[in-house]
């Protein structure tokens, strides 16, 4: 027989049946608790009962730590994902058992983060970790009876695609201020706006990867090898850099560039520009120069045409000139 108890704003259901373990779970409403109890008791009667005690003993905190070791460790974006995991571990919800976490718990987290000013894309990525964790827990860790609370959760709407493109004058001013911070910085910025290479791809570049008119990227964000054609300007910029004993093209670390770039923009009086916007700029330039979609995709490494479209913003002035 099932027993129901109201705890704060939630309802706790408990099932005691001879020959079966005592089970309990917490739900947003009494109706949800009653449906759960009816399903469990029905499964017990038909000998289809699934023991969920392991799921009820495993806290989100413990599961996230295991997820970090077994899943995050092997991802290219491990550092960024670990930052999200640390944020989850500090939240009170981390002390709840996996089987107790409800969609309303995650909705509360979603609303808290959005109210605090977090971007919708950031919150979506936070919740994506939890959703994948439940999938891994059910399929690989054999935690039976788990229901992914993200399945019935309304995700934040996607952020509007950025269409910020720097003007030639803005870039000149940024180059000038960047040179005051570090001699390599203006070269990095100009190459990003010319080649469409990502920050990490540029800063991990080695001399042996630059072969005549091609930069060979062995390790990209997508995990695939990519050949990036270099314009005469890009080749000139690379040749202007002194050779390093360690074989690297640049001495600056990715995080250093991330810190320096906004400082250079601020000093130059340029607002609303991010380093990743330079990749958008380079992609748009390729289209404006007449490259076909598949040619641009081969250069930039975008996985799908939909992604390529999101990061491409053609200048209306260039299009008007093309119309005649």
Catalytic residue among 67, 134, 260, 311: 311
Q: Would you call 198 a catalytic residue per the annotation?
A: yes
Q: Would you call 209 a catalytic residue per the annotation?
A: no
Catalytic residue among 279, 280, 285, 313: 279
CA distance 226 to 190: 20
CA angle 143, 148, 153 (to 5 degrees): 165
Six-digit token pair at 195? Answer: 């080649």
Q: Would you call 309 a catalytic residue per the annotation?
A: no
Catalytic residue among 20, 96, 221, 235: 221
Q: Can you name the residues that pair with 59 across neighbouring β-strands?
A: 97
Q: Would you call 279 a catalytic residue per the annotation?
A: yes
**DSSP characters for 2-37?**
EEEEEETTEEEEEE--TTS--EEEEESSHHHHHHHH
Q: Would you call 4 a catalytic residue per the annotation?
A: no
Check: CB of residue 314 under 8 Å from CB of residue 287.
Answer: yes
Q: Would you call 317 a catalytic residue per the annotation?
A: no
Q: Is 49 left (phi over 0), alpha (psi -120 to 50) or beta?
A: beta
> Would you report the helix, strand and coil content of the chain in percent, each value rounded to 5?
55, 10, 35
Catalytic residue among 96, 209, 276, 310: 276
> CB-based burial of residue 42 (10 Å sphere; 0-12 exposed, 13-18 middle, 19+ buried)?
exposed
Catalytic residue among 198, 199, 226, 313: 198
Check: CB of residue 160 under 8 Å from CB of residue 168.
Answer: no
Q: What is the DSSP letter of 156?
A: P
Q: In what order do the strands lie in the sheet with 10-15?
A: 2-7, 10-15, 23-27
Which residue in the block uniquely carries the two structure tokens 């690297």? 248
- List the catalytic residues: 198, 221, 276, 279, 302, 311
């Amino acid at each position: 027989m099932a027993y129901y108890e109201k705890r704060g704003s939630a309802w706790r259901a408990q099932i005691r049946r001879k020959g079966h373990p005592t089970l309990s779970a917490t739900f947003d409403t009494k109706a949800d608790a009653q449906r759960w109890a009816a399903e469990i008791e029905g499964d017990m009667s038909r000998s289809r009962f699934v023991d969920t005690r392991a799921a009820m003993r495993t806290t989100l905190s413990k599961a996230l730590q295991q997820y970090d070791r077994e899943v995050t460790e092997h991802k290219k974006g491990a550092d960024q994902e670990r930052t999200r995991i640390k944020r989850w571990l500090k939240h009170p919800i981390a002390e709840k058992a996996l089987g107790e976490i409800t969609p309303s718990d995650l909705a509360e987290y979603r609303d808290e983060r959005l109210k605090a000013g977090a971007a919708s894309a950031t919150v979506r990525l936070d919740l994506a970790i939890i959703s994948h964790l439940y999938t891994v827990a059910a399929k690989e860790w054999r935690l039976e009876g788990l229901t992914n609370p993200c399945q019935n959760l309304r995700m934040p709407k996607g952020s509007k695609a950025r269409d910020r493109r720097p003007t030639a004058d803005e870039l000149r001013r940024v180059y000038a201020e960047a040179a005051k911070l570090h001699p390599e910085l203006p070269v990095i910025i100009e190459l990003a706006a010319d080649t469409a290479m990502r920050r990490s791809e540029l800063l991990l570049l080695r001399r042996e990867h630059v072969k005549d008119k091609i930069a060979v990227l062995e390790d990209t964000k997508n995990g695939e090898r990519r050949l990036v054609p270099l314009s005469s300007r890009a080749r000139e910029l690379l040749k202007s850099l002194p050779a390093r004993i360690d074989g690297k093209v640049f001495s600056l670390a990715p995080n250093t560039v991330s810190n320096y770039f906004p400082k250079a923009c601020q000093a130059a009086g340029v607002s609303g520009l991010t380093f990743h916007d330079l990749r958008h700029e380079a992609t748009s330039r390729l289209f404006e120069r007449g490259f076909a979609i598949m040619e641009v995709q081969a250069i930039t490494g975008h996985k799908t045409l939909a992604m390529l479209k999101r990061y491409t913003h053609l200048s209306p002035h260039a299009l008007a000139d093309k119309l005649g």
